[in-house]
Amino acid sequence: MDTAIQEIASLAEKVKGSSVPDKLKEEITVRLTQLGKLTASPTFLPEFDRVSRFVEWVTTLPWEARTQDNLDLTHAKQVLDKNHQGLGEIKDRVLEYISVMKLKQEKGEGKEIFRAPILCFVGLVGTGKTTIAASIAETLGRKFARIPFGGMGDPLDLRGQSRMHAEAEPGKIIKALKGSQSKNPVILLDEIDRVTDAGRASIMGVLVELLDPEQNYAFTDHYLDYPVDLSEVLFIATANNTTTISTAVLDRLEPLSMPSYSDAEKIAIGTSYVLPRLIKEAGISEGALTIDENVWPLVVRPLGYDAGIRTLERTIEGIVRKVARSIVEGKGQSFKITPENVKEFLPQ
């Protein structure tokens, strides 16, 4: 019994020393006091387990922690150009968005920027929707979290389950906040058009609440059962198309079309971004693998036209793997892929 009392006291100290809001601290203190009266009861252990799990969640959430925004346009342009080839119109729109944030901040109206429509990148698979969102987070110096919506069929995935259920836990929104350890991260709502038909209406209802500044300052997760301020979160959405997204959600979004890449753009992306990254990831020395410029059309289009760059990445990855094996087997230390030997390295 003494051990149980000590454990409860330890939880109370943990809550007291955290950044949990005062009202929630009071509620937890009442629950801990009630728990202390159950130490001789057979229900004590399961109830203690539930309460300690709850305390662990609330004390590790970033109630007050936030990152400082970097709103320097020169820095933003450098990051976007470093990470993305082309996409001129998309980059311009992002820079305009950051400019408005900067002006609002200078006038002391920082929070009002979140009344602007949420950016939603719409395009085919592999056109860079997810990576442009990650680049925006890098540009602003914010933490980045991604919530995949593909196949999601239950709004409780977003909103969490009541603590009355065994093994209940918060939803993906609260998990994203905890993972980012920041009150103002960039949260990517990825492929919001790919939720199941059965859960579409209810999930869209949660999305409206998330994206509406009149509601998201007090978002209530069923597990926490306490309002969480999401007004400083920068939400970004992606979709393959907008036909299955509800009108109420679309109302709060600004769809931006991601263009398909031409062969010339893919070659530029392959040479400047993909190949150097994959060579480094494979542990191959710089300069040990080069691809002749006459080979790139075959690398870009091994199986016909593809709007995105997923196939390009897989093809280059296959070439890099074969070169890595050749180096390990002692067949050479440097390799140049030419029209004459390309078939030996292209994945079949």
* pLDDT at residue number 116: 53
Whether the pTM exceeds 0.85: the reply is: no
Q: Which residues of 209-220 are buried (b: 16+ CB within 10 A; e: fewer)?
A: bbbbeeebeebe
Query: What does the alpha-carbon distance between residue 264 and residue 259 come to, in Å, rounded to a whole number?
Result: 14
Residues carrying CATH 1.10.8.60, the chain: 263-345
Per-10-residue mean pLDDT of the chain, 348 residues long, equals 81 91 93 86 87 94 93 93 85 88 69 62 87 93 96 94 89 96 95 94 94 89 94 93 93 89 86 92 92 90 70 91 94 92 86
- DSSP summary character for residue 40: T
* pLDDT at residue number 298: 86
β-strands 219-220, 227-228 pairing: antiparallel
* pLDDT at residue number 236: 95
Question: What are the angstrom distances between the C-alpha of 95 and each of 98, 236, 239, 252, 283?
Answer: 5, 15, 21, 20, 35
* pLDDT at residue number 309: 82
* pLDDT at residue number 141: 94
Residues carrying CATH 3.40.50.300, the chain: 73-257
CATH topology of domain 263-345: Helicase, Ruva Protein; domain 3 (1.10.8)
* pLDDT at residue number 227: 95
Which of the following CATH numbers is that of domain 73-257: 3.40.50.300, 3.40.605.10, 3.30.930.10, 2.40.50.100?
Answer: 3.40.50.300
* pLDDT at residue number 113: 44
Classify residue 160 as left (phi > 0), alpha (psi -120 to 50) or beta. left
List, in sequence order, every beta strand (DSSP E) within the chain. Answer: 118-122, 144-148, 186-190, 219-220, 227-228, 234-239, 253-257, 289-291, 335-337
